[in-house]
Every structure is written in C-alpha cells, then in structure tokens.
Structure 1
Amino acid sequence: MTRKGWLLFIAMSVFWGIPYFFIKIAVRELDPAVVVFARAAIAAAVLIPMAVKGNMIRPLLKHWPVVLLFSLIHMVGSFLLISYGEQHVPSSLTSLIISANPLIVALLALGFDKSERVSGLRLIGLLIGMVGLVVLLGFDVGGDGQMWFGAALILLAALGYAVGALLLKQRPLVALPRISVAAAECSITTVVLLPLILTRLPSHVPSIGVLGSLLILGVICTALALPTFFALIAEVGASRGTVITYINPAVSVLLGATILQEQFTIATISGFLLIIAGSWISTTGSIPFLTSSPTPQSEVSVAQDTSGHQS
C-alpha cells in the first residue's frame, strides 16, 4: 500500500476499534435501535453542514436510489445487527467476529468484482485470519445458544459491511463527494429509525457514561470515520481496505478486558494472533522477514513521473 493508504488504514483501525466498547456501554441502558438512531443523528448533525457548505448535496440527488440502498445495507442493517448482537456477545468478541469482513469481500468478489479477487499469499492470509475467527467462535462462544445467536447477528453485519465496501468502489458512489455520501447515509438512517424508536425511548435520562458513549460513537466513530473509510477504499480497494477489521480487535480486546472485565482466554490470544498474521499477509502479500513485497504500482508511477521532471 502507499504511505497515504497506511495512514488511513491506521486511523480507521482506531476509529472502528473503539465503537464496540462504547456500544456495549450504551446498550446496557438503551434499546439497540435507540443507540443506532442517536449515533446516526449526531453524525448527521456534524456532516450535513459540511456537505451543504461545500455544495456537495446536488450530485447526490441524481443517484438517490443507490445511496438509499447503500445506506440501508451498510448502516441501518449492520449497525442494528451489531447493537442487538452485543446484547449477547462481549464487545471484544464482537470486533473479532467482524474480522470476517475481508474474507466475505473476497468471496463476494469471486462473482461480482474481478478487480478485488485475491490469490497467492494474500488469499492464504485471508484464510489464516479466518482460522483465527473459527478458534474464537469454537472456544469463546462454545455451546452458549444466546451467544451463538448474537454471533450470527454480528456475522450478518459483517456481510452488510462487505457489500457496502464493494458498492463504495463502484459508480456512482465512488465518484460522489465522500462527505455528502456520509451525511446522506446518516440522515437516511435517522429518518428510517425514527418511527421504530418512538416506543423504545428510555423512561429516564441515561447516565453520563452512556451519553458520552453516544457522543463518541456519533462524532468520532461515525462522522469522522466514514469519510476516512471512503478515502481508504478509494485509495487501496475494498479487500485491502476492509482488512482494518483484522486490526480493530487489538483496540477492542484491550478496552473490553481492562475496563469491562471481559473474559480474556488462551483462545482469544491465539485467535487474535492468527488474525493479525492474516491481516499482514493479506494486505501486503508478503510474509514478514521472509519475502519482500513489490513496490505498489501507484508509487512506481509517482517515482517515474517525478524522475521525468527532474532538471
């Protein structure tokens, strides 16, 4: 990946590594639908003025059916599934299950996007990451029926994220302003969920911890994260971009184990190490210290252009 790609990758690993921790806090007092509504509404309040000021709304109107479909899959569906799933699954395990995202992208790409198909070492890396996921599900979830139900919901959310990532790379979404797409996605989610939450509102004001969690989810994990994620997909592609879900667990597991006192087992450690190894190999196409990855074509082109203009 390019230097810009790595910077976006690292930023997204943090932005989308912390949400599961704050979702877990929020759903202790609020209905999952209320959590998603509040998160989307806060993000929309931040993003809409930016989109309006930059005259980014009009290009969106011509393609509203695609934007609506993308929003329903990528945010309404996936956010709801994760929030409901976290009622049964620890936050750390949630982020580790979401790490199936890159493999789902690779599987979907077999039929829908030739440019995203992986092979060789990158495919091996994805499979190693999936072995880590299987270790987590087999040992951390075990025979608990409620946890399996929650895990299934979260896997469906990962599917929604994967479909959304592939849609983002296609026209017309890839050609639309990122801020406007993010603003539209959050606005649509807010409108769609409004009727649903009217009967689910809390009977008392939530605690400071929950209100703070909603604010962080809306501003950092959504309003700031979405444009960054769109930029990452545009820079490195869907399959490499979604590999952030292999890195996110480092942040989530740390927060869950140290603050929420969630269980941290040998299976968690083993699965996490396999996921990290798979992340590296699937992103770079190389094994650390054993193979060297070729210089990305974009960097080669830049170098050639620069050398061609030297005096």
Structure 2
Amino acid sequence: MSARGWFLFSLMGVVWGIPYLMIKVAVDAVSPPMVVFTRCALGAALLLPFAVRQGGLTRTVRTHWRPMLAFAVLEIMVPWLTLTDAERHLSSSTAGLLIAGTPIVGVALARFFGPVANAAERLNPRRVTGLTLGLAGVTVLTLPHLTGGDARSLGEVLLTVLGYATAPLIAARRLKDVPTLQLIAPCLTLAALAYAPAAAATWPGAVPSAHVLAALAGLGVICTAVAFVAFLELIKEAGPTRATVITYVNPAIAVAAGAVFLDEPLTPGVLAAFALILAGSVLATAAGARRRRTAPVERSAPQDNQANAHVESA
C-alpha cells in the first residue's frame, strides 16, 4: 500500500476508533434516531456546500442514484441505527469486537458475488494469515472487557457488520468514478431527511448536558464528515476489502486513548493484542508481489529484434 494509503488507513483507525465511546455517551441521553439524525445532518451541512461547488452534483445523482441509494442504506441508514440501538445494551468494547468481523465478511462477500476485479483484493495465504491475526488481536484486546447483551442487540450488530462489509464493495465497483464529496454528501442528506421525523418525535424535553452535546458534535464532524471523506479515498487507494481492515485497529485506538487520557492500565495482554493487530493489518493490507514475465521473442526480420516484456500482477 502506498504512503498515501497508509496515512488514510492510520487516520481512519483514529477517527473510527472513537465513535463507540461517543455513541455510548450520546445514547444514554437521546434516542438512537436522534443520534443518527444529528450525525447525518451535521455531516451533510459540512460537506454539501463543497459538493455543490464542484459542479455537476445533480447530474451525478441522476446517473448513479441506484448504487448511491444502496450505499446510503447499507453504510449509513441501517448500520448507524442498529449499532446505536445495540449500544444501549452492549458495551462499546463488545460492539467493537463484533464489528471487527467486517473484513472477514467482506472477503467472503467479495468471493461470493463475483470475480475479484483487482489483484490487490485477491485472497491469498498471506492475507488470510493477516485477517486471522488481526481478529485474534481484537479478541485478546477486548475479551477482558466484554459484558453481556441480549439476542436482539447481537443481531443488530450483525446487521451492522453486513452493511459495513457490503457498502464498500458497491462503492468500489459501481461508484468508483463518482467524486467522493458528490457521493457522501447526498447520502448523508438523504439519511438526515429519512430520520428527521423520528428525531422530531423523540426530541429531548431538555437541553442535553455538555458531554452529550460534545459527543454528538464529534460524531457529526469528526466521525462522519472527516471520516467518510478519508474512508472513500482509502477505498479508491487500497480497495474495499483492505480498507475495512481498519476495524481491527479501532478497538486498539480506544484502549490506547483510555491509557493516555484516563490512566487505564496498559497490561501485557493489551501489548500482545497491539502486536497481533499491527502484524495482521500489515499482512492483510499488503499488496501482492509483482512478477515479471518475458514473452518469447520471434525474429522474422533483421529490424524486428526487440523483445516485448509483459508484466503481470501476481
């Protein structure tokens, strides 16, 4: 993966490593539809003016509205509500552990729904090893912090995983020529409009506390507007399956933040998990080796004495 890809990967590990905590803080005071509406409305308000300024937004929506609608439903409208509602009963670490299964599901879906379009997306032993190590690292990291939850909450997180695994495939295969802002701004706007009635019906009777307002603002600005721009660029740079490997890094970021800002213990188990996650991420996102193959040379005339080399991705 390129230097730009690694930068986007690192950025996404941070900005999508903190939503679980913010959702947990917000959903204790406001309804799940209110959380989703606020997050989408803030993100749309920030990104839509830039998308309009690029020009051609209406034409883009008319041309690609079907895959854009599918992306909005699978990446935003369903997963954000199910995840937010699930965190009313599950701990954030439990949710993070379950969401970490997204790359595995993404690989399975990519293989099931058709041939892999990019050599970097092909499944090979090194990538399988990386995915396995990453999942093992997340398990080691979160297992001591797990709390129980009901079947409904676990099912909601499963729906979230399916959405998160499917949407990047749509973005990579059907929306790769759509500018990032012109994809995400209309999707966030649609989601905000869809959740506006439910948010209005469950509007809190009093102004939430400063902590809740800060969590909602962080979800909208950092974890939505900034994160989606970076994530879609990461998909274009590294491919959909490799991009979802950030879900291995996210729980590690949450624990690191707790150790730095809340003086939570950094145990040997946590350090071991970091090592597994790092190794798994490197292996799972590494590009396949390139192999140079030289075609046979046919000399039919004195002037035709140049060999043509054919380079093929492994």
The question of 1:164 aligning with 2:167 is answered yes
Tell me, yes or no, if the aligned pair for 1:15 and 1:221 is still in contact at 8 Å: yes
Q: 1:256 to 1:158 in 2, by over 3 A?
A: farther
Q: Does 1:2 align with 2:7?
A: no
Bigger radius of gyration: 2
Q: Deviations over 1:99-154 (max 9, x none)?
A: 11111111111112424331111111112333445567876547x343x5434322
Give how far 1:267 is off.
Answer: 7.1
Unaligned runs of 5+ residues in structure 1 are 286-292, 298-311
Q: Please, what is the CA RMSD of the aligned residues?
A: 2.8
The aligned runs of 1:109-128 (5 Å cut-off) are: 109-112=110-113, 113-114=115-116, 115=118, 116-128=121-133
Given the alignment of the two structures, is residue 21 of structure 1 paired with residue 21 of structure 2, yes or no?
yes
Q: Secondary structure at the match of 2:201?
A: coil
Partners in 1 of 2:165 and 2:265 — Cα distance?
28
Q: State how many pairs are aligned.
A: 287
1: CA distance, partners of 2:78 / 2:265: 28
Match of 2:156 in 1: 153
Partner of 1:63, secondary structure, is helix
TM-score (norm. length: structure 2): 0.82
CA pair 278-155 structure 1, distance change in 2 beyond 3 A: farther
1:71 aligned partner: 72
Equivalent residue, structure 1, for 2:39: 39
Determine helix, strand or coil for the equivalent of 1:87. Answer: coil
C-alpha distance in 2 between matches for 1:12 and 1:185: 19
Query: Post-superposition shift, 1:244?
Result: 1.1
User: Could you give the per-residue CA deviations for residues 239-284 of structure 1, whole angstroms, max 9, x where no partner exists?
Assistant: 1111111111122223457768999988776656544432222122
Q: Quote the offset at 1:294 in angstroms.
A: 4.6
CA pair 101-35 structure 1, distance change in 2 beyond 3 A = same
- How many angstroms does 1:225 deviate by? 1.2
Unaligned runs of 5+ in 2: 293-314
Partners of 1:72 and 1:215 lie apart in 2 by: 22
1:254 has 2:259 as partner: no
Matched, 1:130 2:131: no
More deviation, 129-138/109-118: 129-138
Greater CA drift, 203-212 or 260-269? 260-269
Cα distance in structure 2, aligned partners of 1:295 and 1:18? 37
Distance 2:52 2:32 in 1: 30
Q: Which amino acid aligns with 1:165?
A: P
Distance 2:65 2:240 in 1: 22
Distance 1:225 1:138, change over 3 A: closer
CA 1:12–1:296 in 2, change beyond 3 Å: closer, same or farther? farther
Partner amino acid, structure 2, of 1:22: M
Q: Hey, what's the Cα distance between the residues in 1 that align with 2:271 and 2:86?
A: 22
Where 2:95 maps in the other structure, the secondary structure is helix
For the 8 Å contact 1:26–1:213, the answer to whether it is kept is yes
The answer as to whether partners of 1:91 and 1:252 remain within 8 angstroms in 2 is no
CA distance in 2, matches of 1:68, 1:27: 26
Which amino acid in structure 2 is aligned with residue 247 of structure 1?
A: V
Distance of aligned partners of 1:75 and 1:191 in 2 relative to their CA distance in 1, 3 Å threshold? same
* Structure 1 position 103 matched with structure 2 position 104: yes
Letter of the aligned partner of 1:213 in structure 2? A
Identity among equivalent positions (%) equals 38
Is the Cα–Cα contact under 8 Å of residues 32 and 83 in structure 1 kept in the other structure? yes
| In 1, Cα distance between equivalents of 2:154 and 2:144 | 13
In structure 2, the residue matched to 1:239 is: 241
**C-alpha distance 133-202 of structure 1, shift in aligned 2 (>3 A):** same
